[in-house]
């Protein structure tokens, strides 16, 4: 089962009761983790940027982070956050996060990657906008600094991402090229892309989460609501149960049905002693008998040693 992350991001818009409610809702829906974003607006964009005021409302200090961390712990769900600066990493270390998510915009940001690597904690590295060469460079950089284990997240940094832009086959490509765990960070509307990613072997699924995707602003419009998240997790769990494992071929549950469904060799009509058997003398029907359909060619042209009634089993002892 993939590790399911409900990305709250800044959909809480600075409202702590809403943020707490979102954490509980994600836990109740079955997610493994909630993910926030840890930043000061000036660490991401200049005050003159058109989205500066939008992201500023999502700023949270240490006390707010600690309160949400505690809420997640009470709800039995992991607390994750994406740091956007060394200040953010320091804050998250103080509250004790167990792993880090690196946003696609910082996939190639060695200044930030160095700080995160120094924590030694696992890293979820989102790869939106990055080329294979850039991903190789970042992974080599992290490995050289003895970072924690890195999971790559295939991501398309379009909001929302169009169906024809998703290219989920990249999940398999990343597994083959980088030989490490691979997941998927979603910006597609709805849950179908996340389900498809799970089918294709994503080990982590991150999807934006909201209590109401009709709300204006933020990432609400391409986020999933609690019941959608619950349905997604249930669908993935069902698929995983159906998929099973390849080792099941050695202990398949339908093996005991073979004697009922397979065929034996019987007489198609009353046959007299001395009959030289031809293929149309044989009736191949259930249940399994001593001889199988594979014996018909071998038996054709041989002679019956005694009379055989129709629908009677033909055995080696009846044939000369």
Distance between CA atoms of residues 33 and 114, nearest Å:
24
**What burial class does residue 197 get, using C-beta atoms within 10 Å of its C-beta: 0-12 exposed, 13-18 middle, 19+ buried?**
buried
- Sequence-distant (≥ 6) Cβ neighbours of residue 162 within 8 angstroms: 188
Tokens, residue 291: 């001889």
Return the SS3 of 298. helix
pLDDT digits (tens, 9 = 90+) for 112-164: 999 999 999 999 999 999 999 999 999 999 999 999 999 999 999 998 999 99
pLDDT digit string (tens) for 79-103? 999 999 999 999 999 999 999 999 9
Domains of the chain: 3-244 (3.20.20.70), 255-318 (3.90.1210.10)
Angle between helices 62-75 and 86-95 (to 10 degrees): 50
Answer whether 262's CB lies under 8 Å from 288's CB: yes
**Would the pTM of this model clear 0.95, i.e. be above it?**
no
Neighbours of 52 (CB within 10 A): 14
**What pLDDT was estimated at residue 221?**
66
User: Could you give the maximum distance between any two Cα atoms of the chain, in Å?
Assistant: 103
- Separation of alpha carbons 80 and 83, rounded Å: 10
Residues facing residue 304 across a β-bridge = 319
Q: How far apart are CA 315 and CA 26, in angstroms?
A: 65
Per-residue confidence in pLDDT tens, the chain, 320 aa: 999 999 998 778 778 999 999 999 999 999 999 999 999 999 999 998 888 888 888 889 999 999 999 999 999 999 999 999 999 999 999 999 999 999 999 999 999 999 999 999 999 999 999 999 999 999 999 999 999 999 999 999 998 999 999 999 999 999 999 999 999 999 999 999 999 999 999 999 999 999 887 777 667 767 899 999 999 999 999 999 999 988 888 888 999 999 899 999 999 999 999 999 999 999 999 999 999 999 999 999 999 999 999 999 999 999 98
DSSP E strands in 215-302: the ranges are 264-267, 282-285
Element (H, E) at 141: helix 132-144
β-pair type (150-155, 123-126): parallel
Closest CA to 5 of 70, 71, 78, 97: 78
CA atoms within 13 A on the CB side of 125: 34
Question: Phi and psi for 254 in degrees, rounded to 5?
Answer: -90, 5
Q: Which two tokens stand for residue 86?
A: 């060394």
Cβ–Cβ under 8 Å, residues 4 and 205:
yes
Cα separation, 7 vs 73, in Å, equals 16
Beta strand pairing status for 182-186 and 150-155?
parallel
C-alpha span between 11 and 184 (Å, rounded) = 20
């Amino acid at each position: 089962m993939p590790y399911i992350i409900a990305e709250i991001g800044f959909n809480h818009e600075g409202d702590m009761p809403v943020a707490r409610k979102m954490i509980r809702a994600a836990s109740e829906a079955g997610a493994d983790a909630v993910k926030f974003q840890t930043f000061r607006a000036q660490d991401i964009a200049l005050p003159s940027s058109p989205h500066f005021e939008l992201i500023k409302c999502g700023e949270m200090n240490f006390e707010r982070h600690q309160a949400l961390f505690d809420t997640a712990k009470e709800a039995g769900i992991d607390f994750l956050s994406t740091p956007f600066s060394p200040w953010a990493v320091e804050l998250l270390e103080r509250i004790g996060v167990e792993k880090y998510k690196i946003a696609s915009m910082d996939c190639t940001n060695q200044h930030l990657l160095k700080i995160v690597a120094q924590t030694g904690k696992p890293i979820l590295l989102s790869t939106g906008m990055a080329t294979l060469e850039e991903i190789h460079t970042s992974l080599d950089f992290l490995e050289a600094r003895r970072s924690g284990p890195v999971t790559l997240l295939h991501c398309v940094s379009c909001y929302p991402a169009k169906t024809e832009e998703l290219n989920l086959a990249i999940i398999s490509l990343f597994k083959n090229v980088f030989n490490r765990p691979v997941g998927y960070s979603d910006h597609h509307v709805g849950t179908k892309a996340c389900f498809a990613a799970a089918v294709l072997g994503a080990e982590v699924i991150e999807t934006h989460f909201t209590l109401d995707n009709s709300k204006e602003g933020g990432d609400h419009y391409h986020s999933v609501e609690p019941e959608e998240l619950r349905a997604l997790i249930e669908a993935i769990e069902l698929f995983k149960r159906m998929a099973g494992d390849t080792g099941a071929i050695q202990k398949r549950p339908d093996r005991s049905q073979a004697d009922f469904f397979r065929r034996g060799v019987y007489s198609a009509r009353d046959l007299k002693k001395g009959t030289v058997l031809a293929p149309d003398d044989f009736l191949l029907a259930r249940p399994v008998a001593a001889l199988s359909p594979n014996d018909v060619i071998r038996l054709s042209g041989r002679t019956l040693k005694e009379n055989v009634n129709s629908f009677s089993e033909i055995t080696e002892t009846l044939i000369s």
